[in-house]
Amino acid sequence: MKDMMIGVDLAKNVFQVHGALRAGEVQFRKKLTRKQFPAFMARQEPCLVIFEACGSAHYWSREMEALGHEVKLIAPQYVRPFVKRQKNDAADAEAIVIATRQPEMRFVAPKTVEQQSRAAVFRGRERLVHQRTADVNALRALLYEYGHVFPAGIRYFDRMTALVEDEVSALPALIREECLDLLAQIAEKTARIAARTAKLKTLASQSDRARRLQTMPGVGPLTAVAVEAFGPDMVQFKTGRDFAAWLGLVPRQHSSGGKERLGRMTKAGQADIRRLLIIGAMSRLNWLGQRTIAEGSWLSRMLARKPKMLVAIALANKMARQIWAMLTKNEDYKDPALAVAA
């Protein structure tokens, strides 16, 4: 039944299912276990199935598509305004259907198995980096308790290692043992980070899209894999500005009465891609990268009158729009300055 819409509130064990026609007439409300849900959906005629974009939503999207249903994912913050009075599973499932009927509603693109797999490897590396940072900070704090002060940053790790391994230093024996244990943990995590980095670089070399993205200055293998793993099909965005806004690389607005009031960057989008683009932009603005900036270009004019971090965010916004253009047109990066000169 093509006019049927089924909203599903996912959970670990019990799913709440709400079926209604597109006109709004309720057909059924059911509570199904995890084992009952696939069998129930297999008995339904092909229809529109809607999930909140949450844990396991992408998996169930693929399962429903295999049964012949059309699937849409909707962000939880867009469902919340349509929950009537008290919040419960049945109200959430109903709200999903009501929100989907709104003509201007935006949806989340379901991810493929390959995208989720790459995202898992990427997030695994990020988790190891955070754990290593915590261990380095613990080592620094322990040494500080005994009068040895080191600046923050992994670049000073060798100096801390030399102090701990120096047998004639004034560190007590128990403290040296504890520091050596931390050094072993940091070394292990560093090796695992290097292995994950190599795996991500291999994945980037196997993809034509990732190769194309790396032709842009400031975009490396990690950024290219992140765009593939976390970014949807660029066709979903009408313009590159829409993609930049999706990443949260636009100022927050509080405008009224025809007067524009712009604030700080929203940070309301995909954090992994946004962070890597800003890091890539900063690499183009350091003392080595600035040598390649053409005199009189947009970037040089911005650097002359704006703080470097603000310029980096503006450059990341421009990079996001260029990524959209490259992927929608299937073209490698073209330097705007050279394009104008030509």
Average pLDDT over residues 135-149: 94
Encoded amino acid at 266, one letter: T
The residues, any chain, with a CB within 8 Å of residue 110's CB and separated by 6 or more, are: 57, 58, 61, 62, 65, 71, 73
Q: Is residue 107 part of a domain?
A: no
pLDDT score of 340 more than 60: no
| 165 alpha carbon, distance to own chain's centre | 40
Question: What pTM value is reported for the model?
Answer: 0.85
Same domain flag for 278 and 336:
yes
Residue 252: both structure tokens together: 């927050």
- Torsion angles phi and psi, residue 216, rounded to 5: -85, 130
Same domain flag for 164 and 257:
no
Same domain flag for 222 and 273:
yes
Distance CA 96, CA 16 (A): 11
Encoded amino acid at 149, one letter: V
| Domain end residue (candidates: 177, 205, 233) | 205
Distance CA 189, CA 130 (A): 10
* One-character DSSP codes across 51-79: EESSTTHHHHHHHHHHTT-EEEEE-HHHH
Please write down the long-range contacts of 136-143, taking CB distance under 8 Å and 24 or more positions apart.
Answer: 136/160, 136/186, 138/182, 139/164, 139/179, 139/182, 139/183, 139/186, 142/175, 142/178, 142/179, 142/182, 143/171, 143/179
Is the sign of the CA dihedral 142, 146, 148, 151 positive or negative? Answer: positive
pLDDT score of 253 more than 90: no
Q: Is residue 105 part of a domain?
A: no
Same domain flag for 216 and 333:
yes
Q: How many CB atoms lie within 10 A of CB 118?
A: 23
Residue 339: both structure tokens together: 């394009």
Q: Is residue 129 part of a domain?
A: yes
Domain assignment of residue 329, given as a range: 208-341
CATH, residue 66: 3.30.420.40
Average pLDDT over residues 59-76: 95
Same domain flag for 63 and 163:
no
Total of domains in the chain? 3
The predicted pLDDT at position 303 comes to 87
Instruction: Read off the pLDDT band of 260 (50, 70, 90).
Output: confident
pLDDT score of 339 more than 80: no
Distance CA 258, CA 109 (A): 34
Average pLDDT over residues 293-304: 83
Return the bridge partners of 253, or none. 262
Instruction: Read off the pLDDT band of 288 (50, 70, 90).
Output: low
Of residues 169 and 34, which shows the higher confidence score? Answer: 34
Q: Is residue 46 part of a domain?
A: yes
| 41 alpha carbon, distance to own chain's centre | 31
pLDDT score of 341 more than 80: no
The predicted pLDDT at position 1 comes to 55
